[in-house]
Chains A and B, each alone.
Chain A
Amino acid sequence: MPARTLYEKIWEAHLVAEEPGQPALIYIDRHLVHEGTSPQAFSGLKVAGRKVRRPDLTFSVMDHSVPTKDRHLPIADNIAAAQMDALARNCREHGILFFDMQNPHQGIVHVIGPELGITQPGLTIVCGDSHTSTHGALGALAFGIGTSEVEHVLATQCLVQFKSKTMLVQVDGRLAPGVTAKDIILAIIGKIGISGGNGHVIEFGGEAIRGLSMEGRMTVCNMSIEGGARAGMVAPDQTTFAYMEGRPFVPRGKDLTVAVDHWKSLVTDAGAKFDKVVKLDAAAIAPQVTWGTNPGMVTDVTASVPEPNSFADPVDRQAATRALEYMALKPGTRITDIPLDRIFIGSCTNSRLEDLRLAARVVAGKHVAKSLKEALVVPGSMQVKAQAEKEGLDKIFRDAGFEWRDAGCSMCIAMNPDVLPSGERSASTSNRNFEGRQGKGSRTHLVSPMMAAAAAIEGHFVDIREWGVGEAE
């Protein structure tokens, strides 16, 4: 048997049909559905007189359009309400498990999947959302698809796919205190660029990746798409198996033993070849802050807003000039001098319990700067929220002047009432800083939860390493 990468192992195990000169047909083990990209898929199914082939492998949740407060009131946005009603109706009609706003397990789809054990190593997982790559952290092959493909998966439980190239991103060494998974992935994207991973599935490896918790690995895999990759994955190990045990949808007893035995085989074989290899030294990674209008426009918190002329490529120069104009930033401005308007701690990238614990540690006993207009903490799921409340994190945030919300995509995408007003600047733990992402004319800076928390206290960015709160538990 030739040496294979983890990606190749999962790919080959899911081949339903493969003809020369054609893309393959692969089986999909888990289809995750949310209200934003599914209505047209279900309508299409109806029009064609087709049924959902495997409702038992289809899981659905409301997350993009849901309000994060006052959920006992009717939804103010009629269009969002109609979209959520459509999802509820479609799930009922097809017998699909559905987590609505009243369900205690509701949350962002990429948070609840792993949390509930729906996501497991070695599975193929798709969703009409590009951050589906998150689930790769558990050793699954997980990626985003468009609505037409959502319809195809509903009807056939399969996907027509071209095999991707493979990229190994190896992060060796150890992170400095205060530097986190978020900084790792921002540094990777800073290095390879937002199209660096195009056509590739990335496997993350190396000492620093192995040293991350499951939640840290999810943060890294989540932003694989921002580096242009098809998917991102981390091979499962003891950390993964310990995480899986006891979750609602994970096999138990003897079945679990069999499952773990299989999961142990999900590693890249020694000698397997990757199409590309990129290496980083974890110790050299500083807390990252984006300055521009895509995640690749990023720098160290200790650095300054770059001079467009410092870019060799004239295209990069033009793009930087445009970005600085949109972001209203002058070249040479120290990152730590950039004043902020609002803070957003949330999103499928960073809204899990560990993220909240770290942020709470930073703000405990302190207060949100008077210069800030708003600081939100939006737990990734209602379970995360409940657990955080058990630990008293909500009180820490509230006492510090943060708003403590219900679970949803919130200000990451601003498709719900949480919007960053035009001209305002945020420190956000989310994954995209495109023009208008958090609201038309809004200016997003992507950072880690600790960095967002510290920025909330000071009203501008600070180097969290200087605060001495970053030692991992």
Chain B
Amino acid sequence: MQPFTKHTGLVAPLDRVNVDTDQMVPKQFLKWLTREGYGRVLFFDWRYLDDGETLNPDFVLNAPRYKGASVLVVRANFGCGSSREHAPWAILDYGFHALLAPSFADIFYNNCFKNGILPVTLSEAQIDEVSRRVSATEGYRLTVDLQTQTVTDDAGLRFEFRVDPFRRECLLNGWDDIGLTLRIADRITDYEKSHHPAAPMHVPMHTQAVK
């Protein structure tokens, strides 16, 4: 996983509340076998016209001024619904490295950290301010700094954000979750030895009945 330390980029707004992961990656793309390539289908039904190929000129992210945006400002409960990790894969593949919202849905929030995307929680008022500046200034850019836990721009804006220290550490270093856990593999073995002899945890040998 690519680490995230500090990122400066063009900001785009998506001014909708409760954006669910079906909107981010519709079901037909959940049949793919890879983790890559989802950027072109991000927000598919909003982004393209009915032919699935022509860009919808009315969709905000298709506006020329937001081309190349790498920071996305959104509204409350972003990422609700399905647990599909295809959603953050699409977000990343499209080019977004950081998301700013008043709140994120739990599973999506968690999935972001597994993929090197930093989800930043700010207050509603702070999100309103950023949105105002994005609209007012073409080419508006923000710096999202995970080391200092700040969001800043060139015009004096400076917001601090909170993030769990462990998640922060893993993201700063690009640590592989599984590698970290396997460092204490003997603790897992200890747990199995002490718990599994107990009847309720055992999977009885009835598999013959269902093979």
A interface list, Cβ under 8 A from B: 16-17, 21-23, 25, 27, 29, 36-37, 39-40, 43-44, 48, 50, 53, 56-57, 64-65, 77, 79-80, 82-83, 86, 97, 99, 103, 105, 116, 120-123, 128-130, 144-149, 151-152, 155-158, 160, 162, 194-195, 198-199, 228, 230, 248-252, 255, 258-259, 262-263, 294, 315, 318-319, 322, 413-415, 422, 432, 434-437, 440-441
- Indicate whether A315 sits within 8 Å of B17 (C-beta atoms), given known contacts A50-B178, A195-B80: yes
A230 pairs with B181, CB closer than 8 A: no
Q: From the candidates A27, A122, A148, A441, name the one contacting B85 in the complex (CB within 8 A).
A: A148
Complex Cα gap A199–B28 (Å): 29
A146 pairs with B166, CB closer than 8 A: no
Complex Cα gap A152–B211 (Å): 26
B22 pairs with A199, CB closer than 8 A: no
B204 pairs with A162, CB closer than 8 A: no
B150 to chain A, nearest CB (A): 21
Complex Cα gap A57–B204 (Å): 11
Q: From the candidates A156, A228, A230, A251, name the one contacting B199 in the complex (CB within 8 A).
A: A251
B206 pairs with A194, CB closer than 8 A: no
B203 to chain A, nearest CB (A): 6
Q: From the candidates B31, B178, B195, B207, name the one contacting A156 in the complex (CB within 8 A).
A: B178
A118 to chain B, nearest CB (A): 8
Complex Cα gap A160–B177 (Å): 8
Q: Given the complex, which residues of B lie within 8 Å of A122, measured CB to CB?
A: 200
Closest to A23 in B: B166
A146 pairs with B210, CB closer than 8 A: no
A158 pairs with B204, CB closer than 8 A: no
A17 to chain B, nearest CB (A): 5
Complex Cα gap A43–B35 (Å): 10
Complex Cα gap A258–B80 (Å): 40
B23 pairs with A436, CB closer than 8 A: yes
B83 at the interface (CB under 8 A from A): yes
Interface-centre pick from B30, B184, B200 (highest chain A CB count, 10 A): B200
Q: Given the complex, which residues of B lie within 8 Å of A121, measured CB to CB?
A: 200
B30 pairs with A415, CB closer than 8 A: yes
Q: Which of B167-187 contact A (CB under 8 A)?
A: 177-178, 181-182, 184-185, 187
Complex Cα gap A228–B107 (Å): 9
User: Ordered nearest first, which 3 A-B pairs have the shortest CB separation?
Assistant: A146-B85, A148-B114, A144-B83
A144 pairs with B107, CB closer than 8 A: yes
- Indicate whether A255 sits within 8 Å of B204 (C-beta atoms), given known contacts A146-B110, A156-B188, A434-B20: yes
B105 pairs with A195, CB closer than 8 A: yes
0 or 1 for each of B48-86: is its CB under 8 Å from A? (1 = yes): 001000000000000000000000000111001111111
A147 pairs with B22, CB closer than 8 A: no
B149 at the interface (CB under 8 A from A): no
B18 at the interface (CB under 8 A from A): yes
Q: From the candidates B30, B85, B204, name the one contacting A249 in the complex (CB within 8 A).
A: B204
Q: From the candidates B27, B88, B115, B200, name the one contacting A259 in the complex (CB within 8 A).
A: B200
A146 pairs with B31, CB closer than 8 A: no
A17 pairs with B187, CB closer than 8 A: yes
B207 pairs with A97, CB closer than 8 A: yes
A146 pairs with B114, CB closer than 8 A: yes
Q: From the candidates A23, A145, A155, A248, name the one contacting B178 in the complex (CB within 8 A).
A: A155
Q: Which of B75-123 contact A (CB under 8 A)?
A: 75-77, 80-86, 88, 103, 105-107, 110-111, 114-115
Complex Cα gap A16–B76 (Å): 34
A82 pairs with B187, CB closer than 8 A: no
A435 pairs with B166, CB closer than 8 A: no
Interface-centre pick from A198, A252, A262 (highest chain B CB count, 10 A): A198
Q: Given the complex, which residues of B lie within 8 Å of A255, measured CB to CB?
A: 199, 202, 204
A155 pairs with B182, CB closer than 8 A: yes
B199 pairs with A48, CB closer than 8 A: no
Q: Which of B6-42 contact A (CB under 8 A)?
A: 16-18, 20, 22-23, 26-28, 30-35
Closest to A112 in B: B210
Closest to A432 in B: B81
B33 pairs with A319, CB closer than 8 A: no
- Indicate whether A195 sits within 8 Å of B76 (C-beta atoms), given known contacts A25-B187, A145-B107, A415-B30: yes
Closest to A254 in B: B199
Q: Given the complex, which residues of B lie within 8 Å of A130, measured CB to CB?
A: 81-83, 107
A16 pairs with B191, CB closer than 8 A: yes
Closest to B180 in A: A160
B184 pairs with A248, CB closer than 8 A: no
A78 to chain B, nearest CB (A): 9
Closest to A247 in B: B206
Q: Given the complex, which residues of B lie within 8 Å of A129, measured CB to CB?
A: 82-83
Q: From the candidates B75, B83, B105, name the one contacting A37 in the complex (CB within 8 A).
A: B83
Closest to B185 in A: A156
B106 pairs with A198, CB closer than 8 A: yes
A258 pairs with B178, CB closer than 8 A: no
A16 pairs with B199, CB closer than 8 A: no
Q: Given the complex, which residues of B lie within 8 Å of A248, measured CB to CB?
A: 206, 209-210
Complex Cα gap A255–B206 (Å): 13
A315 pairs with B75, CB closer than 8 A: yes
B116 to chain A, nearest CB (A): 11
Beyond the given A198-B105, A263-B200, please list 4 additional residue pairs across the A-B interface where CB-CB is below 8 A. A16-B184, A123-B201, A130-B107, A195-B103
A252 pairs with B76, CB closer than 8 A: no
Q: Given the complex, which residues of B lie within 8 Å of A116, measured CB to CB?
A: 210
